Amino acid sequence: MDFRLRESSEARRAEVRAFLEEHMSLALEERVYRTGVSHDAAFTQALVDRGWIAPSWPVEFGGQGLDPEEMVAVGEELRLADAPMYGIGTTNMVSAVILAVGTDAQKTEIVPKALAGEIVIVLGFSEPEAGSDLAAAVTRAERDGDEWVINGQKMFTTNAQIGDYAFLLARTNTEVAKHKGLTMFLVPLDQPGVEIQAVFTLSGERTNIVFYNDVRVSDAWRVGEVDGGWRTMTVALTNEHAAGFAAVIDRLLVAAESWARESTDDDGVSRMEDETVREALGRTVIDLEVSRLLQRRVAWMAEAGETVIAEGPMSKLFSSEALKDRAQDMVEVVGPDALRSYFDPSAPSHGVIEHMLRFSLGTTIYAGTSEIHRNMIAQRGLGLPRSG
Ligand SMILES: Cc1cc2nc3c(=O)[nH]c(=O)nc-3n(C[C@H](O)[C@H](O)[C@H](O)COP(=O)(O)OP(=O)(O)OC[C@H]3O[C@@H](n4cnc5c(N)ncnc54)[C@H](O)[C@@H]3O)c2cc1C
C-alpha cells in the first residue's frame, strides 16, 4: 500500500508553497492575529489572480478542476501557513449550495462575484439555544407579499462584520416537526434592522452576535424550497463535517521542533536531547500521521465516488482532539515561556505554541463538537441507536 500523494499532487504543493512565499508575509500574519479575522482582501485577490479561489470547482464554473487528492496537498499547505482562508471557505461552501439548489438569478448574481473574490458570505446557523441542535432554530421568517420579515438572533456569525450576505437558517413554519419548518435565505447584511455585535473567542478569533429586527428580504433571496431548509443545509454541513486539522498539527510540530533545536537547558544541553521533549515530539508526529491518513482516506473515498459516512467525522474528531492534547503537551514541556504570545518578541517559535493552545479548543467545537461527532460515528459508522 502506498500512502504517499501522487507526484502531480506534490507538484501542486510546491506551487502553493511558492505562492505563499510571495503573498503570505509576516505583516499579513500579524494582521490576521491582531484582528482575529481570517480574511484578507489583497490575499484573496492574489488567489483570484492565480486562479485558486475555488481550485476544486469545475473549469466551466471558474475553478481549476483539481481532484480531491490534489486539494489535500493545496489545503495542507494553506493551513500549515495559517493563510487567511476562513471567509473564502464559507463563501465557496454557500456558492456550491447555490449552484446545486439556487435559482438561475441567484447563480448569475452570486457565483461570479464569489469567484472574483468580490463578496464574502457568512454562515448564520447557530443561535443562543440552537448550536448542536440546529433544527431547534427559532429565528423567524414570516411571509409578507413578495418579501419575508426576519426577526431573531444568531450566535457566532464569523466574519459578519465584513460579510455581504448571511446564509441564514430561519423558521418559517411552527406547526410541523422542527426539521420540517425551516427555510434558508441569503440575507444581504446591509439591510436595515441588521445589527452586528463583536465577540472575541479565547483564541482571539473575531466572531459576532447578529440581531435581525424586522429585516425585509425579497423572496428572490430564498435558497431552496419553503420549509425545505433542512435538506438545503445538509448539503452545506456534509462538507464541514469532513474537515481535518492535520496541517495545523504540522504547524505545531514545526514550531516545537524549531524550539527544541534552537534552545538549551540551564547546562547548555540542547532541548532536543531531553527525553520528555523527544517523547512529546514523537507523540505529535504519530498524531499528525494518523490525522493525515484519516483526512486522505476521506479524499480518496470522494475520488473513488464512495459515500463518506463516518470517515469525515472520524477525521475531524481525531485531528481536533489530537491538536488540543498535543498543544497542551508542548506547553508543559516548554514551560512558562510557552505562554508568551505572538506579540511578545521573546516568545518561543514566534508564539505559535501559545496560539495553538488557545486555537485548538475552538476546533473541538465548531463544525460540530466532539460529542456530536462521536454520536455521528456511533450512529452512522457502528449502527448504534440515537442518543437522547
Ligand atoms: C470560533 C467559532 C466560530 C464559529 N463560527 C460559526 C459560524 O460562522 N456560523 C455559525 O452558524 N456557527 C458558528 N459557530 C458555532 C458552532 O458551530 C457551535 O458553537 C457549535 O455547533 C456548538 O453549539 P453551541 O455552542 O450552541 O453548544 P451546545 O450545542 O449548546 O453544546 C454544549 C455542550 O453540550 C454538548 N452536546 C450538545 N448536544 C449533545 C448531544 N446530543 N449529545 C452529547 N453532547 C451534546 C456539546 O458537545 C457541548 O459540549 C462557531 C463557533 C466557534 C467557537
According to the model, what pLDDT value does residue 22 have? 97
**Is the CB of 201 inside a 6 Å radius of any atom of ligand 1?**
yes
Percentage of the chain lying above the pLDDT 90 cut: 87
**254 and 200 inside one domain:** no
Number of domains observed in the structure of the chain: 3
CATH of the domain at 354: 1.20.140.10
For the cut 80, the answer to whether the pLDDT of residue 235 exceeds it is no
**Is the CB of 157 inside a 6 Å radius of any atom of ligand 1?**
yes
For the cut 90, the answer to whether the pLDDT of residue 374 exceeds it is yes
**Is the CB of 126 inside a 6 Å radius of any atom of ligand 1?**
yes
pLDDT classification of 62: cutoffs 50, 70, 90:
confident
Q: Distance (Å, rounded) from C-alpha 40 to C-alpha 25?
A: 12
The residue out of 226, 260, 294 marking a domain boundary is 226
Average pLDDT, the chain: 94
Residue of minimum CA distance from atom 4 in ligand 1: 156
What separation in Å is there between the alpha carbon of 272 and the centre of ligand 1? 39
* 19: in domain: yes
For the cut 90, the answer to whether the pLDDT of residue 1 exceeds it is no
Q: Record the pTM.
A: 0.95
**Is the CB of 167 inside a 6 Å radius of any atom of ligand 1?**
no
According to the model, what pLDDT value does residue 388 have? 61
**161 and 273 inside one domain:** no
According to the model, what pLDDT value does residue 303 have? 85
Biggest alpha carbon–alpha carbon distance for the chain: 78
**Is the CB of 369 inside a 6 Å radius of any atom of ligand 1?**
yes
pLDDT digits (tens, 9 = 90+) for 256-313: 999 999 999 999 999 999 999 999 999 999 999 999 999 999 989 988 989 888 999 9
358, 203 Cβ separation under 8 angstroms: yes
The dihedral of CA 239, 245, 250, 252: what is its sign? positive
Residue of minimum CA distance from atom 17 in ligand 1: 366
pLDDT classification of 236: cutoffs 50, 70, 90:
confident
Residues whose CB falls within 8 Å of the CB of residue 240, separated by 6 or more in sequence, listed in order: 93, 367, 368
348, 337 Cβ separation under 8 angstroms: yes
What is the atom index within ligand 1 of the atom nearest the CA of 375?
Answer: 42
Q: Which domain range does residue 150 map to?
A: 121-226
What separation in Å is there between the alpha carbon of 384 and the centre of ligand 1? 23
- What is the separation, in whole angstroms, between the first and last Cα of the chain? 41
Percentage of the chain lying above the pLDDT 70 cut: 98
pLDDT (average), residues 136-141: 97
According to the model, what pLDDT value does residue 49 have? 94
pLDDT classification of 194: cutoffs 50, 70, 90:
very high
pLDDT classification of 240: cutoffs 50, 70, 90:
low
Secondary structure tally for the chain: helices H, strands E = 12, 8
Q: Which residue is listed with cell 504540522? A: 250
**Is the CB of 379 inside a 6 Å radius of any atom of ligand 1?**
no
* 251: in domain: yes
**198 and 287 inside one domain:** no
What separation in Å is there between the alpha carbon of 147 and the centre of ligand 1? 31
**Is the CB of 120 inside a 6 Å radius of any atom of ligand 1?**
no
pLDDT digits (tens, 9 = 90+) for 253-266: 999 999 999 999 99
What is the atom index within ligand 1 of the atom nearest the CA of 205?
Answer: 1
**Is the CB of 131 inside a 6 Å radius of any atom of ligand 1?**
yes
**255 and 364 inside one domain:** yes
For the cut 90, the answer to whether the pLDDT of residue 18 exceeds it is yes
Q: Distance (Å, rounded) from C-alpha 56 to C-alpha 84?
A: 18
319, 297 Cβ separation under 8 angstroms: no
* 213: in domain: yes
Alpha carbon distances (Å) from 11 to 64, 79, 249: 15, 17, 22
CATH of the domain at 165: 2.40.110.10
* Listed range (170-179, 204-213, 240-249, 268-277) with the worst mean pLDDT: 240-249
According to the model, what pLDDT value does residue 58 have? 86
According to the model, what pLDDT value does residue 269 have? 96
pLDDT digits (tens, 9 = 90+) for 3-17: 889 999 999 999 999
pLDDT digits (tens, 9 = 90+) for 142-159: 999 999 999 999 999 999
Mapped onto helix, strand or coil, the DSSP state of residue 30 is helix
Q: For 267, which DSSP code?
A: T
The residue out of 161, 196, 226 marking a domain boundary is 226
What separation in Å is there between the alpha carbon of 238 and the centre of ligand 1? 16
**Is the CB of 207 inside a 6 Å radius of any atom of ligand 1?**
yes
What is the atom index within ligand 1 of the atom nearest the CA of 126?
Answer: 11
**270 and 326 inside one domain:** yes
